[in-house]
Chains A and B, each alone.
Chain A
Amino acid sequence: MNFLHLFLIFLAAIFLALWFFSRSAALKYGRFAILLLVATVMLMPFAWLVCSAFKSIDAMDRYTFLPPPSQISCDNLNLDNFRSLLEKQPTLSGPVTFWRYVANSLFLASTTTVVSLFFCSLGGYALAKYRFRGRNAVMVYMLSSMAIPAVVLLAPNFEVIWRLGWMDTYKALIIPGAVSAFGIFLFRQAMLNVPNELLEAARIDGCNEFKIYLTLIMPLVRPMSGAFCLISFMGSWNAFLPPNIFLQSQSKLPLPVILNQYMGTYVQHYGIFLAGTLLAVIPPAILFFSLQREFISGLTSGAVKQ
Chain B
Amino acid sequence: MSVGQLVTSSPKAVPAYSAVTRRRSRNPRAPYLFLLPFFAINLVFFLYPLIYATVLAFYQTNGPARRAYVGWGNFAFILRDPDFHKALWNTTIFAIFSIGLQLPLSLGLAMLLNSKNDKFKSLFRLAIFAPNLVGQVFVGIMFSILFMPRYGLFNRGLQSLIGWGLEEQWLGDPKLVMPAIIIAAMWMYVGFNMIYFLAALQNVDQSLVEAATIDGAGPTSIFWNVTVPAIAPVATFVVVTSTIGSYQLFELPYNLLQNNGAGYGPSNSGMTIVGYLYQNAFANGDLGTGAAVGWVLTFIILIISIIQIRIAGKVGSET
Contact = CB atoms under 8 A, between A and B. Distances in A.
Q: What are the 7 A-B residue pairs with the smallest beta carbon separation, nearest first?
A: A238-B135, A155-B290, A152-B294, A39-B127, A156-B49, A126-B34, A130-B31
Contact of A158 (B24, B34, B134, B287): B287
A36 B38 CA distance: 45
B48 to A, nearest CB: 7
13 contacts: A31-B112, A123-B35, A126-B31, A126-B34, A129-B6, A131-B4, A131-B6, A132-B3, A153-B294, A154-B277, A159-B64, A175-B45, A281-B133
Contacts of B248: 149-151
A92 interface: no
Nearest to A286: B133
Q: Interface residues of B toward A: which range? A: 35 or more
Contact of A274 (B9, B145, B156): B145
B142 A274 contact: yes
Interface of B: 2-9, 14, 17, 20-21, 24, 26-28, 30-32, 34-35, 37-38, 41-42, 44-46, 48-50, 52-53, 56, 64, 109, 112-113, 115, 120, 123-124, 126-131, 133-138, 141-146, 151, 153, 156-157, 160-161, 187, 190-191, 195-196, 199-200, 203, 233-234, 237-238, 244, 247-248, 250-251, 254-255, 258-259, 274, 277-278, 281-282, 287-288, 290-291, 294-295, 297-298, 301-302, 305
Contacts of A85: none
B38 to A, nearest CB: 5
A75 B31 CA distance: 65
A79 interface: no
Nearest to B231: A304
A199 interface: yes
Interface stretch (A45-53, A94-102, A220-228): A45-53
Interface of A: 2-5, 31-32, 34-36, 38-39, 42-46, 48-49, 52, 60-61, 64, 119, 122-123, 125-133, 135, 138, 145, 147-160, 162-163, 175-176, 178-179, 181, 184, 196-197, 199-200, 203-204, 208-210, 213, 234, 237-241, 245, 256, 259-260, 263-264, 267, 270, 273-274, 277, 280-281, 284-285, 288, 292, 296, 299-300, 303-305
Contacts of B41: 119, 175-176, 178-179
A44 B128 CA distance: 11
Contacts of A270: 145
Contacts of B35: 122-123, 126-127, 138
Nearest to A299: B195
A196 B7 CA distance: 7
A281 B34 contact: no
Nearest to A282: B133
A157 B45 contact: yes
Given A145-B46, A196-B6, A296-B129, 4 more contacts: A42-B191, A132-B2, A151-B250, A184-B38
A200 B255 contact: no
A155 B294 CA distance: 8
Q: Summarize A's interface: helix, strand, loop or mixed.
A: helix
Contacts, number: 278
Given A176-B45, A179-B41, A240 B255 contact: yes
Contact of A45 (B187, B195, B259): B187
B243 to A, nearest CB: 11
B282 A158 contact: yes
Nearest to A30: B112
Contact of A125 (B34, B131, B190): B34
Contacts of A138: 35
Nearest to A150: B248
A300 B199 contact: yes
Contacts of A36: 124
Given A155-B277, A197-B14, A274-B145, A259 B138 contact: yes
B128 A131 contact: no
Given A126-B31, A152-B294, A304 B24 contact: no
A162 B64 contact: yes
B49 A160 contact: yes
B237 A303 contact: yes
Contacts of B254: 240
Contacts of A43: 127, 130
Contact of B251 (A128, A163, A210, A241): A241
A29 B64 CA distance: 62
A78 to B, nearest CB: 19
B210 to A, nearest CB: 16
A31 B255 CA distance: 35
A288 to B, nearest CB: 5
A52 B46 contact: no
Contact of B37 (A179, A181, A203, A299): A179
A130 B46 CA distance: 25
B7 A131 contact: yes
A42 B127 contact: yes
Given A44-B153, A160-B49, A260-B137, A240 B251 contact: yes
Contacts of A32: 120
Given A122-B37, A163-B64, A299-B195, A42 B131 contact: yes
Given A150-B248, A304-B199, A35 B112 contact: yes
